[in-house]
Amino acid sequence: MFKVLFQPDNVVVEVEAQSTLLQAADKAELPLNVTCGGKGTCGKCLVRVLKGDYLLRDDTVLGKAEIPACQAVVLSDIEVEIPQETKLVKHKVLIQKDNLLAEKELDLLAGYKFNPLVRRYEVTLPEPSLTENATDLNRLLVELKKHVSCSEIKIFLPALRKLAYALRDGEWNVSVDVAHIEGYGEIIDILPGKSKTDLYGLAIDIGTTTVVVFLIDLLTGSVIDKRGTYNKQAKYGDDVISRMICADEEEDGLQELQQAVLNSINELISEILVNHPHVERDFIKLVVCAGNTTMTHLLLALHPKYIRLEPYIPTAAQFPAVKIKDLGLPLYGEGLVINIPSIASYVGGDIIAGALAVGIEKTDELTLFIDIGTNGEMVLGNSDWLISCACSAGPAFEGGGITFGMRAMRGAIERIEIDNDFEVVYETIENEKAVGICGSGLIDGLSKLHSSGLIDRTGKFQTDISTNRLRQGDDGSEFVLVWAKEGGINKDIIITESDIKNLLRAKGAIFAGIRSMLKLVALEIYVIDKVLIAGGFGNYLNLDDSIKIGLLPDLDRNRYQFVGNTSVKGAQAVLLSTDAYQQSLELSKKVTYLELSVGNTFMEEFVSATFIPHTDLTLFPSLIK
Amino acid sequence: MFKVLFQPDNVVVEVEAQSTLLQAADKAELPLNVTCGGKGTCGKCLVRVLKGDYLLRDDTVLGKAEIPACQAVVLSDIEVEIPQETKLVKHKVLIQKDNLLAEKELDLLAGYKFNPLVRRYEVTLPEPSLTENATDLNRLLVELKKHVSCSEIKIFLPALRKLAYALRDGEWNVSVDVAHIEGYGEIIDILPGKSKTDLYGLAIDIGTTTVVVFLIDLLTGSVIDKRGTYNKQAKYGDDVISRMICADEEEDGLQELQQAVLNSINELISEILVNHPHVERDFIKLVVCAGNTTMTHLLLALHPKYIRLEPYIPTAAQFPAVKIKDLGLPLYGEGLVINIPSIASYVGGDIIAGALAVGIEKTDELTLFIDIGTNGEMVLGNSDWLISCACSAGPAFEGGGITFGMRAMRGAIERIEIDNDFEVVYETIENEKAVGICGSGLIDGLSKLHSSGLIDRTGKFQTDISTNRLRQGDDGSEFVLVWAKEGGINKDIIITESDIKNLLRAKGAIFAGIRSMLKLVALEIYVIDKVLIAGGFGNYLNLDDSIKIGLLPDLDRNRYQFVGNTSVKGAQAVLLSTDAYQQSLELSKKVTYLELSVGNTFMEEFVSATFIPHTDLTLFPSLIK
């Protein structure tokens, strides 16, 4: 065992021989900014060794001051500094800016009736006698059927074991907690008398990057607390593809990935419970999760292997309800975990939840719902018809594949202006010294580089422009956004031509996805009545710049709305409304899935959309004016 | 720790200080004949200490040669002899005698269609493609619904986790094991290709005294093996009442009782598997149990407390299907345990199983089905209507409350003749030296004591008769059946006047039960077309003597049939036929339950029926002739 001392946090952990510094940091609960799953390819987990011996697996980095933690094997007690930009800090709380559209308040119930998936029924039974000697269960069911509309009511052993005592302790009054799933009622708990104990549920958004948990009072419908954290699966890779590879190739990979997300959820639950000491774990009897198809498979330890391999077939799109105890969550074990169903391998329960939350299935207006993350997932339609698709935009908007790209965390550049002298004004999250650029900063940057003439419509730098910010780097032309002396990482923060290519591919994929769906129903862009943009990303999105670079359609700006994290909002609606849950099941079967890799439509659209804003300028009339 | 050496078996066990000899014998797997649950009241667990020290909890037995094992606390290494009559030996295999009606062979399926509760479906799915990209589960369900008639097919996570690999390993051929319960199908296992692995089920009769397990091939319907053993709950008391008291009053009593019956079942399973090495535990995917209501409650750890207390209300009569893993049986964990439903607290699943096995619900003949044990449980009726009742006959026919009473084990007197000189001829089971009298012997004895004039119609000894076998004992008049020198226990085997009173009460209760049911439907005894007698007891029953003492109605002898252990036969029919299972559920709701403690009918009938054969001799016309 060796001691590893991490600076500047001054945290010590002991690790086994053969451990890497990345594993040590993980053990020290100092998560590093690693996007390749520790394979030594992303170069983001850089640390400085202050004292002690180590062996580098990757000798190409020998002699550099900062070494990738994932490649450094500890050989002695060691002291290590984690630079600011390497740390995976907590997600920034969503903020609102004047010139960004504010996140729209959505109805808690998404317009559905308040009839939670788990409801408490207080019933009074006739007392038995020698002549009226029906069993406790029959007596209960006869009475309960007067209140519960399900055709069938089930009960499992653990709840049934409570029945005899509850009835007699409560003098033939009992409170019965019933889950309303898949067309039948399931009695999950029986309490004596008119129970005063509370009844709660969790609405959970399981994102590839973050996990968000809402604690909700199922008796009143009120939201008690909201918490978010990183998905601990991040250490196995940044995107769903690397997680799936890990599940497939690593021994116990699937179990580790499942445990990682459960740990993320458990951590949030513990945080919430500390802050609400009157809420006992056993009062939480329902969990509704919304995640993409891969996340849901990993949560349930269903192998996602064939989601990744053509023809991309998941095990299931509608998932069986699972007992809380069978998933190992430390809540009321007989309660249920419900996963919002998927549409296809790359359009998951998070999108169904989103569609539900914005009410796309109930509107007459032609609505485009987009969730921009690693994939651009979207649903187009109205109450009559719905199409969905997923285009692999790549991780550029989340900072992946961009030299100084990062997630929307403290110190990330989120707004950029470039003036006539090519000087840069920028804003960072929490006004910290700049450490990198997040998605909204990248969109601003791309737009401003173009409008200032620094790049052309293909994304090429105009090297004849004279400014010391535009220079030749190791990998071709690059533009300095932040000088080393102003920033927080002791080096220049730049954007390279290759970064720009990645951004163009990302924005092109999204726009091509939109066009492909429209082509399927032979409609033009301008007939879209409403565009709803979801995801944490959306909160920082500069709408004008997004349209200028050709990421979003050139529609009247008031047709746009930002709707925030609709995944957790949809989960919340399902938790609180059996009708919304039924609708989620129907949507999962009803929404047409457009597989973009079939045929040439998408590829042709994509090529045209990798220009700024597009090869076809008539699609962007407001920019021509 | 002290060493306890048991003779004559020469078995040594080590026990903790403070252990009783009863506990030591239990640990040595030498079960003793104890009916009071080790409370020191039945006086049946007598042993002789040959060497070593002990402390007697019950000082009234101080100085006697034989001491109750349950009251003797071990104080040193000790050597103990267990007399023959104290040993609980294995149940005798059912035998047939010339002058007893042979057990009737019943149809394996009780006339129902062969459609086992778990069936294997071999299906071939269309291979997916980019354009035909339904999920694995949807693809499977579409195909399965062509074969499975259920309106809904469910699947739980563990089976779902196998799906993706099974489909691809089997090149889109899979074998799917589906349980058909409660109106829906449940996929419990998925195997790649056309699976060659076997599929088995267990039919189990959980009797208060014995447990019987049949291993059955669900693919062919053939019975592979049959085994029986004592219900290990016996050490907690002999009858359901003492078991219920134990569950209620002892710490962890319910759990211990549950574990005891599970251990009995597991022991039989292990025995069977040793003899059938090709049968793997994971191939056994269904267990169907038939037991009385208390036994079923104890198996499921449902508290039986209110079965015992007026107004005698069980928790349930229809029991939820339970995953094998949730009951802790070491078989295929995702398989199911089905309990045949009850009618009421004292008419259980064993009686429904029996009714099913003999086909009472399908016949036009007015049929009386009786299972005589501690309770006399019976069903009267035909395809139009069915009534049931339970009369507490007491344990007399099982040897309880009778000085030398015992179960039908080796050395038990099962036939008795008394000649004109009042000399006794008897037969014992396996022709061993007599050690006691079992139920069939008691019926013979009672009948012969009466026909020889030794007792009058009220059961009183005629003390003016001159024979040295009739004498005054500690508790009044008694009759010597076996002299000490002939028997196997070194003392005279006697029957006392108090024994006779107990027997008269037992037989009177049965007859009164029959009459009470008939009165409810205003029918006379002679209209009964058929009497079917079930239970191990029935195999030793002398029909003429049973009628002579007024235990059974005086009907034409050819209306009687012995049907053996119908509980396990009914379980077998349910295992092999979903239709039989459905019928069991319907019967449990359809059969009218007559509570004998309501009103005066039963009590009046009972008083009249405690005479030999009855106060109303016109009910027994053949005896008058």
Distance (Å, whole) CA B72 – CA B20: 5
Q: Which residues contact A103 (CB under 8 A, 6 or more apart)?
A: A94, A96, A538, A539, A562, A563, A564
pLDDT at B533 over 80: yes
Confidence tier at A196 by pLDDT (50, 70, 90): confident
From A192, A225, A249, the end of a domain falls on A192
Model pLDDT, residue B98: 43
Termini Cα distance of chain A: 68
Q: Can you read off the two tokens belonging to residue B110?
A: 């009780």
pLDDT digits (tens, 9 = 90+) for B164-212: 999 999 999 999 999 998 778 999 999 999 988 999 999 999 999 889 9
DSSP assignment letter at A344: B
**Which ipTM value was assigned to this complex?**
0.83
pLDDT of res. A96: 33
Report the percentage of chain A scoring pLDDT > 90.
Answer: 68
Task: Tell me the pLDDT tens digit for each residue of A451-480.
Answer: 999 999 999 999 999 999 999 998 899 999
The answer on B619 and B520 residing in a single domain is: yes
pLDDT score recorded for residue A32: 82
Closest to A123 in 3D by CA, of A151, A148, A150, A157:
A148
pLDDT band of residue A103 (cuts 50, 70, 90) is low
Tell me: the pLDDT tens digits for A257-288? 999 999 999 999 999 999 999 999 999 999 99
- Whether the Cβ atoms of residue B393 and residue B509 lie closer than 8 Å to each other: yes
A320 and B CB contact within 8 Å: yes
Question: Side chain identity at A384, as an amino acid letter?
Answer: D
Same domain, B369 and B416: no
For an interface test with A, which of B155, B313, B602 has the most A Cβ atoms less than 10 Å from its Cβ?
B313
Bridge partner residues of B121 (DSSP): B176
Secondary structure class of A397 (helix, strand, coil): helix
The separation between CA B224 and the C-alpha centre of its own chain, rounded to angstroms, equals 21
| A236 and A330 together in one domain | yes
Mean pLDDT of A55-78: 83
Q: Are the beta carbons of A135 and B316 separated by less than 8 Å?
A: yes
Q: In this structure, is residue A585 part of a structural domain?
A: no
- What is the Cα–Cα distance from A399 to A24, expressed in whole angstroms? 25
B95 and B541 in contact (C-beta within 8 Å)?
Answer: no
| Same structural domain, B210 and B332 | yes
| Cβ pair B345:A160 closer than 8 A | no
| Residue that terminates a domain, selected from A86, A102, A135 | A86
Classify residue B559 by burial, with Cβ atoms within 10 Å: 0-12, 13-18, 19+. Answer: middle
Co-location of B400 and B389 in the same domain:
no
How many other C-beta atoms lie within 10 A of the C-beta of residue A387?
Answer: 18
Quote the DSSP letter at residue B522: T
Across the range B546-558, mean pLDDT stands at: 94
Distance of CA A383 to the CA centre of its chain: 26
Q: Which residues contact B434 (CB under 8 A, 6 or more apart)?
A: B411, B412, B413, B426, B428, B481, B482, B486, B487, B488, B489, B493
Cβ-contact B188, B275 below 8 angstroms = no
Q: Are residues A55 and A79 in the same domain?
A: yes
**Predicted pLDDT of residue A347:** 97
CB contact under 8 A, A597 and B129: no
Lowest mean pLDDT among A540-544, A586-590, B566-570: A540-544
**Confidence band for A98, pLDDT divided at 50, 70 and 90:** very low
Best CA proximity match to B587, nearest among B379, B390, B316, B346: B379
Q: Is the pLDDT of residue B367 over 50?
A: yes
Q: Which residue has the tokens 């409350």?
A: B401
A401-441 residue pLDDT tens = 899 998 777 889 988 889 888 999 888 887 888 999 988 89
Same domain, B414 and B303: no
Computed over every residue of chain A, the mean pLDDT equals 90
A310 and A240 in a common domain: yes
pLDDT for residue B88 is more than 70:
no
Q: How far is CA B487 from the centre of its chain?
A: 29
Asked if B300 is an interface residue toward chain A (Cβ–Cβ < 8 A), one would say: yes
3-state class (DSSP) for residue B171: coil
Residues 57-76 of A with CB under 8 A from B: none
Residue B155 has pLDDT above 90, yes or no: yes
| C-alpha–C-alpha distance, residues A440 and A407, integer Å | 10
Residue keyed to tokens 């039924």? A582
Question: Could you tell me if A309 lies within 8 Å of chain B, comparing CB atoms?
Answer: no
**Is B38 part of any domain?**
yes
| Helix intervals (H) in A212-292 | 240-249, 253-275
Are B130 and A156 inside 8 Å of each other by CB?
A: no
* Total H helices, total E strands in chain B: 16, 29
Phi/psi at A289 (5° precision):
-110, 140
pLDDT at B90 over 50: no
Start-end of H helices in B424-524: 439-451, 497-520
At position B80, the amino acid (one-letter code) is V
Of all residues in chain A, the percent with pLDDT exceeding 70 is 96
What pLDDT score was predicted for residue A94?
Answer: 28
Q: Looking at the domain assignment, is residue A397 inside a domain?
A: no
Q: Starting at the earlier edge strand, list the strands of the sheet with B470-473.
A: B470-473, B476-482, B493-496
pLDDT category of residue A102 using cuts at 50, 70 and 90: low
Is A315 close to B128, i.e. CB distance below 8 A?
A: no
Across the range A45-54, mean pLDDT stands at 88
Cα torsion A308, A312, A315, A321: sign: positive
Residue A204 and residue A333 in one domain:
yes
DSSP per-residue codes, A513-569: HHHHHHHHTT--GGG--EEEEESGGGGG--HHHHHHTTSS----GGGEEEEE-HHHH
State pLDDT tens for residues A352-403. 999 999 999 999 999 999 998 778 899 999 999 999 999 988 778 888 889 9
Sheet holding A173-181, edge to edge: A118-124, A173-181, A184-192, A152-155
B152, B312, B322 member nearest A133 (Cβ):
B312
Contacts of A554 (CB under 8 A, 6+ apart): A525, A547, A613, A619, A620, A621, A622, A623
User: Computed over its alpha carbons, how large is the radius of gyration of chain B?
Assistant: 27
Same domain, A164 and A232: no
Question: pLDDT (tens digit, 9 = 90+) per residue, B273-285?
Answer: 999 999 999 999 9
Question: Which amino acid would we find at residue A100?
Answer: L
Helix (H, G, I), strand (E, B) or coil at A14: strand
Report if residue B225 sits inside a domain.
yes
Of B130, B138, B164, which has the smallest distance from its Cβ to A306's Cβ? B164
Tell me whether A603 touches chain B (CB under 8 Å).
no
- pLDDT band for position B91 (cuts 50, 70, 90): very low
Same domain? A207 vs A331: yes
Average pLDDT of the residues of chain B: 90
Q: How confident is the model at residue B393 (pLDDT cuts 50, 70, 90)?
A: confident
Looking at B402-484, list the stretches that DSSP marks H as alpha helix, in order from N- to C-terminal side: 439-451
Is B92 inside a domain boundary?
no
Backbone angles phi, psi at A110, to 5 degrees: 50, 30
pTM for the predicted model, two decimal places: 0.83
Asked if the structure places residue B93 within a domain, the reply is no
Q: What is the pLDDT of residues A555-575, one digit of tens each?
A: 998 899 888 789 999 999 999
Asked if residue A245 and residue A223 are part of one domain, the reply reads yes
Taking CB atoms within 8 Å and a gap of at least 24, the contacts of A404-407 are: A404/A436, A404/A437, A404/A481, A404/A493, A404/A494, A404/A495, A405/A436, A405/A437, A405/A438, A405/A442, A405/A499, A406/A33, A406/A85, A406/A435, A406/A436, A406/A437, A406/A438, A407/A91, A407/A209, A407/A438
Pick from B395, B291, B391, B307: nearest CA to B348: B291
- Tally of structural domains, chain B: 5
Chain B (138-157) residues lying within 8 Å, Cβ to Cβ, of chain A: 138, 152, 154-157
For every residue of A578-624, DSSP letters joined together read HHHHHHHHHHHHHSEE--TTSSSHHHHHHHHHTSSS-S-GGG-HHHH
Mean pLDDT of B511-523: 97
Residue A238 phi, psi dihedral angles, 5° rounding: -85, -30
What's the distance, Cα to Cα, between the start and end of chain B in Å?
68
Mean of the pLDDT values across residues B560-588? 94
Residue A187's H or E segment, with its range, is strand A184-192
β-pairing verdict for B530-534 and B560-564: parallel
Confidence label for B70 from pLDDT (cuts 50, 70 and 90):
confident
- DSSP states of A447-504 as a string? HHHHHTTSB-TTS-B-TTS--TTEEEETTEEEEEEE-TTTSSSSS-EEEEHHHHHHHH
Q: Which tokens hold the place of A90?
A: 């907590």
Last residue in a domain, options B497, B522, B556: B497
A351 compared with A29, residue with greater pLDDT:
A351
Band of pLDDT at residue B101, cut at 50, 70 and 90? low
CATH number at residue B516: 3.30.420
Per-residue pLDDT tens over the stretch A499-547: 999 999 999 999 999 999 999 999 999 999 999 998 755 356 788 899 9
What would the two tokens of residue B156 be? 């739980």
pLDDT digit string, tens, across residues B426-452? 888 878 889 999 888 999 899 999 999
The answer to whether A136 contacts B306, with C-beta atoms less than 8 Å apart, is yes
Would an 8 Å CB–CB cutoff place A600 in contact with chain B?
A: no
pLDDT tens-digit series, residues B114-125: 999 999 999 999
How many whole angstroms from its chain centre is CA B370?
Answer: 13
- What CA–CA distance (Å, rounded) separates B585 from B588? 5
Does residue B375 lie in a domain region?
yes
Burial class for A132, CB neighbours closer than 10 Å (0-12, 13-18, 19+) = exposed
A591 touches chain B (CB under 8 A): no
Residues of A in contact with B163 (CB under 8 A): 315-316
At B100, is the pLDDT very low, low, confident or very high (cuts 50, 70, 90)?
A: low
> For residue B207, what are the domain limits?
200-339
Q: At what angle do helices A601-609 and A497-520 cross, to 10 degrees?
A: 140
Tell which wins on pLDDT, B258 or A7.
Answer: B258
Element (H, E) at A136: helix A136-144
Contact A320 B156 (CB under 8 A): yes
Closest by CA to B70, choosing from B18, B28, B32, B20, is B20
Report the pLDDT averaged over residues B52-70: 81
B155, B315, B344 ranked by CB distance to A320: nearest:
B155
A68-72, A159-163, A577-581, B547-551: the lowest-pLDDT one? A68-72
CATH number for the domain spanning B17: value is 3.10.20.30
The rounded distance, in Å, linking the Cα atoms of A578 and A218 is 12
> Hey, how many other C-beta atoms are within 10 angstroms of the C-beta on B527?
10
SS3 A84: helix
What is the rounded radius of gyration, in angstroms, for the C-alpha atoms of chain A?
A: 27
HSE-CB of A126 using CA atoms within 13 angstroms: 13
Indicate if the pLDDT at residue A101 is higher than 70: no
- Residue B458: pLDDT over 90: yes
* Residue A164 domain-assigned (yes or no): yes
* pLDDT band, very low/low/confident/very high, at B102 (cuts 50, 70, 90): low
Strand residues in B163-296 grouped as ranges (E): 173-181, 184-192, 200-206, 210-217, 223-230, 284-291
* Residue from B157, B308, B324 to probe the interface with A (highest A Cβ count within 10 Å): B157
Q: Specify the CATH number for the domain of residue B156.
A: 3.10.20.880
